[in-house]
Each structure stands twice: as C-alpha cells, then as structure tokens.
Structure 1
Amino acid sequence: MVEMVRVLVGEGAEVDAEDVEGRTALTVALAFGQEAAARALLEVGAGVNAGTGWRPLHAAAERGTVEMVRELAGKGAEVDAEDGEGRTALTVALAFGQEAAARALLEVGAGVNAGTGRRPLHAAAKKGMVEMVRELVGEGAEVDAEDGEGRTALTVALAFGQEAAARALLEAGAGVNAGTGQRPLHAAAMKGMEEMVRELAAKGAEVDAEDGEGRTALTVALAFGQEGAARALLEVGAGVNAGTGQRAVHAAAEKGLEEAVRLLAGKGAEVDAEDGEGRTALTVALAFAQEGAARALLEAGAGVNAGTGRRPVLAAAERGMVEMVRELVGKGAE
C-alpha cells in the first residue's frame, strides 16, 4: 500500500484532502495503525496539523504508536490541539489506556491542564492509571478541575470504581466536597464503596450534600441497591429525611429493600413524606410491585390514604396486587 500512496500522490491526489469526518489520509493511516503508509504520506508532504476533524496526533495517541507521536511532534504537530470533544492528544492517549504514548506526549510538551473538554487527569482517573495520576499531579495538573458534567477527577475515579486512583488523588489533596456536579461521596455511594464512604466522611465530606436532582448520597446508595454503603452513611451521620429531591425511604421502597425501609423508619424517617409527584413511599413501593417493602412500611405506620398524588390503593390496583388492595381497603383506604 505504501507504493500505492506514492503513485496516487504522483498522479495528483490531494494529500491533505478530508473525508466526511474531516480526517486526512495521514490521520486515517494512523488510526488504523498503518505506520509505513503514514510515513509515506509524510514524505510526500502530508500536513501534521491538517484536517478539521480528528488530527494525526490524536490518531497516533489512540493507537499508542509512540514513535509516531514523537515524529509528528518533531515535525510541528500542535501537541495541545483539541478534537471535536475538546480533548487533547494526551487526554485521548489516557482515555485509551496508552500510557507510553501519554508519556511521549508529556516529553514533547503536552499540557497537563490543556483542553476545553475532558482533562488528562480525568481520563487517567477513569482508567485507574494510578502512576499516571501521580505523574500528572506532579507536573501541575489541577486536581480539582471539573469536567463538562461538573465532576472532579476524584468523582470520576469513584464513579468508575477506581479506588486506587481515588486514593492517589486524595493523597494529592483532592477536595472531598469539590465539584459542581456529582460529588465524590455520591459516586462512592453509587458504587457501594463502603470503606471509601467512611474515608470521605472522615476527611470532611458533607454527608447530606445534594446532587443535581436534590438527592443525598444516602438516597443514591439506596437507589442503586447499595445497602452496605447506605449503612456506612448512616453510621457517619447521614440524615434519613435529608434532601429536597427523592427521599431515602422512597428510594428503598422503589428497590424493594425491606430491611433498609425498617432501618430508616426506626431512625425516624418520615414514612408519609411525599416525593415530587405527591407520592408517599408506600405508593412508590406498590407502584413498583414491591410487596415486601410495602408491608414493611405499613408495619412502620405508613398511612393508607396519605399523599396528595396517586394513592396507595390505586397503585396496588394498577399492578394487579389483589391481596394488597383488600388489605389496604381493610385498613381504611379510600
């Protein structure tokens, strides 16, 4: 194919013409790991910064072709140029787990804080690249910088279950309450990381902070069925009635977590509190056909006529829960 490249160019082919994705032939060659073809294109004058889409350097970074990364940089490739998602080649290399290519990019001057999209540190955190996390921080990466969703690298590490990377970030001074989007504690709760929940709380994480939906970490833990994390949050003082969005007891009811329902009620959860649709936890349990959770709520004193939205008996009827309908009517349901 190398000879064909030379023949085509000799016949007048535009070496930097773009495909429908804005990629030049050089970028395409690199994207498919065709180094010989890429070098042939460079020999005939292919531009190292050409293309309105994916750049050659990004393609080399994705494939982890270290020598090609160095060669492109040596020929003038803009090392901090961004792709359509605002990512630099360094971020791309890390996003694809190409540690050697990432180091090569750092050697040629790639910025550790460059890019208007996802930052290199977030990419390394997501992939659990502990040494790379430490190296980036050592090079000056802003440890609490946010991604497009308002998450710090610590939150991203936890959201993807990368505990070792999260600890490396904490060692580097990552803020336990940083980020305008999902908080680290919510991410740890979502993944059921009990020890991390305790550690974050011990380091000062606000246990009743709300996410963008008004949910506390306790509610999030229960919404994802993470009872262990929920218990850990209760141990560190999470409020059973906290949050302006979905309440903890509603989340437990929806997931059918009977023991969690009892535990929350025992700790003072308002069993007849309403959600944004005016439904009590009992109505929610029945709407999701969680009979065990519904009975646990009734045992805890849930009102059969409570709620300004859909009533419990209607929810039970809609789910075809005949015995529950009889039981509710027997308890005075209107």
Structure 2
Amino acid sequence: MTRTLGIMTEGNDVEALYRRLAWRRQIVLLTGLAALAFSLVLDVATGPAMLPVPAVARSILGLAQDRTVDAIVWSIRLPIAFLALAVGAALGLSGGIMQTILNNPLASSYTLGVSAGAGFGAALVIVLGVAIPLPEAWAIPAMAFLFSGIACAGVYGIGSLRGSSPEMLVLGGIALLFLFQALLALLQFVASPEALQQIVFWLFGSLQKATWPKLWIISAVLAVSLPLLLLDAWRLTALKLGDERARGLGVDVARLRIRSFAIISALTGVAVAFVGTIGFVGLVAPHIARMLVGEDQRGLLPASALFGALLLSLSSIASKTLLPGAVVPIGIVTSLIGVPFFVWLVIRSRRAFW
C-alpha cells in the first residue's frame, strides 16, 4: 500500500512539473509575441525620416489619417520590417532543427556551409551570368536557393559515408563550408570591380530590396515547414537522447534526418536568397529558446522561430540607427550583436552547451 501511494505521489509530482513547464512555455511565447509586435512597430517607425510610433501603429491597423505616412509605411517600410521577421524566423527555426538532429550546440546553416553554398550560387550568377531563363533579380535568389540545397545534400552525403553519425555530418558541413568559401574567394578574385562590389554587398546581407512577393514566398515556406516539423516533434525530442535510444523508441533516425535536412535547405535557401548571408541568428536564437522553454520540441521549434524573428527585427532597427543618415548592412549588425551575446550565453549558462 505504501509503495502504491509512493508511486501515485511521484506521478502527481511529475504531472505538476509538466503543467508548470507547459504554463511557462505559453508565457514565454506570449511575451515573445508581444515583444515582436512592439519591435515591428518600432522598426517601421525608424528610418531616415522618423515617424511617430502612434501614427505607425494606426497605419498598420488601417486607421491612418495621414496619406503620406500611410504611403511610407505600406510601400517602403512595412515590407522591410515583415521581411526581417520572416527571414529571422526561418533562420532561427533552421538553426534549432540543425542543432537537434546533429546534437551539436554550434550547428547552424551559417557555421556548417549551407549559407556559404547559397552565397557561392549568388556570386556565380553575378560573375559568370549563368544562363537561367529568369531576370537577374530572380536568377540570383534562384541559384542561391539551388546551391543551399546542394550544400545540404553534400553535408548528408559526406556524413552518410560513415553511417550518418552526428559527428560525421558536422565534419562534412565544416568541409563544405571551407570548400564554398574557397570557391567564392576564387570568383571574387576573377570578378570585375563592378561585380566584386555587388558580391560584397550581397554577402553583407541587406533587407532594403524587400518586396511583398519575396515576403509571400518566405512566409509560404515557413507556413509549410513549421507544421511538418511539429508532426515530428516527439521524434526530434527523442533524438536528443541519442541515436540508439531514439531507434529503441521506434524512430527511423535516417529518414528523420533526411526530412529535416530537406526543410533546413528550404528555409535557409529562401532566407539567404532574398537578403544575402546573415550569420548568428540561427546560432543564437535556438539557445535563447532552449534556455527559456527547454528541450521539448513542441515549444523549442516555435520559440526558435520567434526569437530568430525578434533578433533580426532588433538588428534591423539597429542597422538604421548606428550611423545617422545611412543603413548599415544587416549582416554586419547581426555579427556585432551575435558574437558578444553568444559568448555571454556560453559563460553565463551551462545549458548553452548541453
């Protein structure tokens, strides 16, 4: 009887702990959404011509009384602000998946060569004018997307030579990172001054060429990717226990990694294709999410996307305020913010490296 009561008490304790974690997860996500809404309005208000925050909020809600403010908000600034959210969410989500399937806290599309592959694809069009039946404005994103997929396939292909272990996949990503960086340097070496300038600007990352069609494309990829990942949430959570234990729980680890790499390729491809190379968002955002909501992928995946969007939105604001009268490329800002912040995470929290 005593043993039975002890088991019941332990079960109640576990249930109470689970409820507290679920409640905490909801609070974190709701608070993050509120911060994201405020950051969006502030991003739209910030620029060469500062706009009053209340006027911007009214314009976004369709209550604007000033047509000039309405035109600036909807034609110029709102696409940029929303693109920052969509790209940040895509990078944060892809980083969270990659860190999970590779069980490596330093894994992200930026550190394992996927973004470098996309950069090489874009530079290929700029320098060589690869024949694609598309205008240059769309040929560059198309090649960037294609080569991000090639990079993902290359990472998995190299890793599968030794059983697709996380260690081999990471080594394969590092190898491809250096390969694409070398190929990119070769293209820069042979490029004309005009092409070189265009490559460098593209590699810095910029939101200034945002348009509504680009935003819809990234949003569509996100809308498809997140539900697919949430269907695999418990399998991804089980994978954190290690490949052998995940297999013991009935998870087909190889197929799960293939599906995950395909989604990573799509998310990184559309993000980098339209705004250029942006680092550290996919690395830092999942760590913030993990510290706040834990390892349960049902909360970690949405939180990674949420904090990725918030980080890039704040970086967009900073890019317009660092130098008066100029917009600093956002890739530079994310690196300036990301490096010290990531070092702080490593120093302050043991959970940054689980």
TM-score (norm 1): 0.18
Indicate the structure with greater helix content: 2
User: Which protein is bigger by CA-based radius of gyration?
Assistant: 1
Structure with larger RCO (C-alpha < 8 A, sep 6+): 2
